[in-house]
A = this chain, B = another copy of it.
């Protein structure tokens, strides 16, 4: 039997398991179940709160309904379970506090069969949960046909079209005419930091990979940021409070510019988004006295990201489709040598719809 205590301003309800729900009279008014639509939307504004109202009576009816009477005669009823659920709410699943961080050397990307994913249910849930929790999943056996990457997005959300199109090709035909530039490695980076909002999901679908080398590296940027905080706390702090400019300028087609931090934290210090891209960082208009410390921090960040133990390595085979959180996971490619073609198709989407689809699947469990 729950125990109840209250005064004019506060109410304490101790449940049978020892958990105490402690709410202010303003909170109790604001969460009144009778003032919510069936879908949970609120009918009142915060301006409807009565700041003069005190709790004049509170009682448990039939053990599981809390009835609160206010001095203005308003009566509010909560089921005890309902009050417990409202008091807990839902977690901030974008925060590093709710992620499984990984050091690449101890981590293997989870692989899920595409045939199972399109059948729906548990394989779909599992693959989306991988993206939420570890930031990445590899779908295996996605048909080797151009445009299939868009069908992958259809399973959970919506394409984020950009100036690169609905999808884009990362194609390298190893031939003398383009050998010089086509087979270079690319350091670990997040895509499109010059966009704000940046696409929060990236997909890479492998259509062919006949080269030697050309491995894909992935780095958990949240784990890298935690490593930076440990190794160089001043550099970490400086990067969270400094915005840097990024730019992508393609003559007549785009001039994209942003001012964003490398590492975004919430007020508890948890990480929520990381960025890094050495190619598209723009000119840094820093006062002279700030330059050395900034370069120290920027250098420390790049060094942590590039540490071999941060990365997990995999070789994409035709039919593999990587699906990853571009606000967290950095990707890279090692250099490669002749041997044939390498063709990936990429596309962007957003985490909001992926989480929504996942929430629906988990609600139904």
Contacts and interface: CB of A to CB of B under 8 A. Distances in A.
A95 B163 CA distance: 24
A92 B87 CA distance: 39
Given A47-B303, A163-B356, A352-B256, A42 B281 contact: yes
A95 B259 contact: yes
A363 B26 CA distance: 53
A179 interface: no
A171 interface: no
A26 to B, nearest CB: 4
B24 A247 contact: no
A136 to B, nearest CB: 19
B45 A280 contact: no
B24 A295 contact: yes
Nearest to A24: B291
What is the copy number of this chain in the assembly?
2
B284 A267 contact: no
A282 interface: yes
Nearest to A12: B288
| Contact residues on A (Cβ < 8 Å of other chain), bracket | 35 or more
Interface in A282-297: 282-288, 291-292, 295
B259 A39 contact: no
Interface in A249-274: 249-259, 266-267
Contacts of A107: none
The 8 closest A-B pairs by CB, nearest first: A197-B197, A92-B259, A255-B359, A89-B285, A24-B291, A158-B161, A22-B288, A86-B283
8 contacts: A9-B292, A27-B284, A44-B278, A46-B295, A86-B283, A94-B196, A256-B356, A257-B359
